[in-house]
Amino acid sequence: MNKKKHRIILVEDSADLGYLLSEYLSMKNFEINWFINGISALKNLESNKYDLAILDITMPDMDGFSLAEQMKERFPELPFLFLSARSLKVDVLKGFYLGAVDYLKKPIDEEELVIRIENLLNRLNSEKRVEEDICHFKLGQFTFNSLNQELSFNDEIFHLTTKESELLHYLVLRQNMLCSHKDILIKLWGNNDYFNKKSLNVFITRLRKYLEKDSAISLDNVHSQGFILRIEK
């Protein structure tokens, strides 16, 4: 079975280096799309998904730092690293401050670059799998993905609001246990007051409407104390 190719977007304005890196990484079983400026790279990202972005910093029109800021805002799931001749401490620190997963200094040996990329992707994929495991729950006949804020019942998918998802996640982690009004409100609303308690009751009602499809699940009110999410095993 052929190993799936990781997709990398390379943004490098040097024609010589860009060609060299794109050719070498392609030989090492990566799928590379090379762009000579940030503007064209951003346009491509609107319709294509990648596993990693490699960014130069010193480029015309839009430097790598500005590109990274826009990528973080518009494509937050895409990890990126800087590959730059700018080696001053202030540049390196700024790169990591912007969210880079690594900062590599030119010139870099091509073999070292491949090893660094493979190690990064392996680590990122491992972290993603752990995150997905933590965020996926089986609730009777329901499946709950707190990361995507989705509650699924057979082929039906309910897209939860952020607060609905946060509340259900809180209750799921404490299923078959009493969750007090006070603890829920302080944790999710930040304040245990009358108006927030009214809001909590509204969201509890919404969750009940979703969960009532499965008779093995109930969201019970314990008078003056709190709620219990009961799930029959």
Whether 188 is covered by a domain: the verdict is: yes
Whole-angstrom CA distances from 133 to 21, 22, 77 are 35, 34, 17
CATH number at residue 114: 3.40.50.2300
Pairing label, strands 142-145, 150-153: antiparallel
pLDDT of residue 133: 54
pLDDT of residue 104: 95
User: Which residue range forms the structural domain that includes residue 116?
Assistant: 6-132
C-beta of residue 68 within 8 angstroms of C-beta of residue 98: yes
Q: Rounded to the nearest 5°, which phi and psi values hold at 145? A: -110, 100
227, HSE (Cβ side, Cα atoms, 13 Å): 25
**Spatial separation of the C-alpha atoms in residues 17 and 21, rounded to whole Å:** 6
Whether 124 is covered by a domain: the verdict is: yes
Does residue 208 share a domain with residue 180? yes
Three-state SS at 86: coil
C-beta of residue 98 within 8 angstroms of C-beta of residue 69: yes
- Comparing CA positions, the residue from 152, 102, 97, 147 lying closest to residue 124 is 102
pLDDT of residue 229: 96
pLDDT of residue 232: 86
Does residue 150 share a domain with residue 128? no
Does residue 128 share a domain with residue 29? yes
Buried b (16+ CB within 10 A) or exposed e, 120-145: bbeeeeeeeeeeeeeeebebeebebb
Does residue 87 share a domain with residue 196? no
Query: Chunked in runs of 10, what are the mean pLDDT values of the chain (233 residues)?
Result: 81 96 95 96 95 95 95 91 94 94 93 92 73 76 91 93 94 93 92 91 96 94 94 83
CATH number at residue 151: 1.10.10.10
Could you say which of 83, 116, 132 is where a domain stops? 132
Pairing label, strands 102-105, 80-84: parallel
Does residue 54 share a domain with residue 27? yes
Does residue 106 share a domain with residue 25? yes
Could you say which of 115, 132, 149 is where a domain stops? 132
Could you give the number of structural domains in the chain? Answer: 2
Pairing label, strands 136-139, 142-145: antiparallel
Could you say which of 114, 132, 150 is where a domain stops? 132
Does residue 218 share a domain with residue 108? no
Does residue 122 share a domain with residue 17? yes
Angle between helices 64-74 and 38-45 (to 10 degrees): 10
DSSP H helical ranges for 136-193 = 162-173, 181-184
Whether 38 is covered by a domain: the verdict is: yes
Whether 55 is covered by a domain: the verdict is: yes
pLDDT of residue 1: 46
Q: Rounded to the nearest 5°, which phi and psi values hold at 224? A: 65, 5
Does residue 69 share a domain with residue 115? yes
Region of 201 (left: φ > 0; alpha: ψ -120 to 50; beta: rest) is alpha
Does residue 97 share a domain with residue 63? yes
Whether 1 is covered by a domain: the verdict is: no
Does residue 100 share a domain with residue 31? yes
pLDDT of residue 76: 87
Does residue 100 share a domain with residue 33? yes
